[in-house]
Amino acid sequence: MGSNTDKSPAWQQELDVSESLTALKRQLSEEALNEPDGRQKLLAAARSLSHSLETPGESVQRLAYLPLQTVLLQVGINLDLFNILDRSREPVTTRALAEQTGADPALLQRILRFLAAIPAIKEVGPSLFTANKLTKTLTVPPLAAGFIHNMITVNPTWAALPAFLEKTKYQNPSDGANCPFQPGHNTPETIFEWFPKHPVNHEAFMLWMTGQREGRDRWLDFFPFPERIADGFHNDDPQAVMLVDIGGGVGHEVQAIKHYYPSLPGRFILQDTPETLKRALSVVSMETMEYDFFTEQPVTVPQKGARSYYLRNILHDWPLPQCVRILKHVAAAMTPGYSKVLLNELVIPDQGADIVGLQIDFTMMCGLGAEERSAGQWHDMLDRAGLKVTRIWTRAQEAESIIEAELK
């Protein structure tokens, strides 16, 4: 009997390859590469060509076994393989690596040849390995933490998603206390309640948050802060606040602003939980303030709120009702015609969304019952809170955007 696997006609496969080649050639031009998202478009074209060349069986192999790559990268990190290979000036044998890691040589050889096939390391001879570009990436603690965080915290929630959706009749998850996180980790707690009791998971998450922007445009590279915020600031008032960073962690965003624009006047206020603020950075002109963003916003200088209220990756953690509640507290503190809201979030396009944003979207769904949002959803949310979008600033869709808003 013949195989009943669906196969596209030969002419269709040839057409797919031809179209992918044409797209790749177009992106290889100097003009295309110099576009703001030229590199990302080239990557997309190259991946499209690779996928169009696959047989159905190869496509299934690639996708079905993809989680195994994350698993064995985690094993490599645990064994410190990537640091050992990166430090060595010469290729290292399996036996030498076994002596340094304490792993069984037979097991280690199986791990190493898999990692070389990804390729997370380079195989230069029989049982002989050295570092490559990805090896070096995996020696950077904040980037390696991304694998650890996904393995021990995120992956169990992804694995729980199919059964959860079937059980809930395929309704969109919108409750952090009733999403795949609970069955994935066998707990009734939300992730915010669970993290403090699991410090290894929380530490990996916090470290990954410092590394997830690597290789992406920062918002200060495309958002004209001096023109949109600093211009119009009431510098005659010594108590005037230039920016309130709501839920801003230890102050990396304020630090970045002051690095880009060291002569900016005014006060900068970092708001977060007491525990987080204990680790706040020392930044010129930055004050710390304990604050729960589900309560009334305290920075509303008499007769004048702050010039800007900044929230980075806060709202993608929460379903719509909670987001509106957070923003209403901000709106109540703002001064009409003066104060602005700056939301540093992803904006998912209506068509042709990049896989990076969609991966984060499902991670938010599984861990928090939340989501990444489209421009239309951001407009709707802000409108419900008494605000209006004045402009959405984006350089590349897989990177962060700035949603600029003011009182209606």
Which is it for strands 241-246 and 267-272: parallel, antiparallel or unpaired?
parallel
Q: Is the dihedral of CA 384, 385, 390, 392 positive or negative?
A: negative
| Rounded Cα gap, residues 178 and 366, in angstroms | 10
Strand 128-130: give its sheet, edge to edge. 92-93, 128-130, 122-125
Q: Phi/psi of residue 374, each to 5°?
A: -85, 170
Residues 23-38, buried b or exposed e (16+ Cβ, 10 A)? bbeebeeeebeeeebb
Query: Does residue 316 have an active-site annotation?
Result: yes
Candidates 258, 73, 65; CA nearest to 152 is 73
Catalytic residue among 51, 149, 252, 316: 316
| Rounded Cα gap, residues 192 and 55, in angstroms | 44
Q: Which residues contact 259 (CB under 8 A, 6 or more apart)?
A: none
CA 31 and chain centroid, separation: 29
Q: Using an 8 Å Cβ cutoff, are 366 and 176 in contact?
A: no
Q: Using an 8 Å Cβ cutoff, are 276 and 195 in contact?
A: no
Q: Which residues contact 82 (CB under 8 A, 6 or more apart)?
A: 76, 120, 121, 131, 135, 136, 138, 139, 144
Candidates 403, 381, 386, 274; CA nearest to 332 is 386
Which is it for strands 340-345 and 347-348: parallel, antiparallel or unpaired?
unpaired
DSSP state of 247: T
Q: What is the DSSP string of 105-167?
A: HHHHHHHHHHHHHTTSSEEEETTEEE--HHHHHTTSHHHHHHHHHIIIIIHHHHHHHHHHHHH
What SS3 state is found at 302? coil
Place of tokens 């070096």: 136
Residues annotated as catalytic are 316
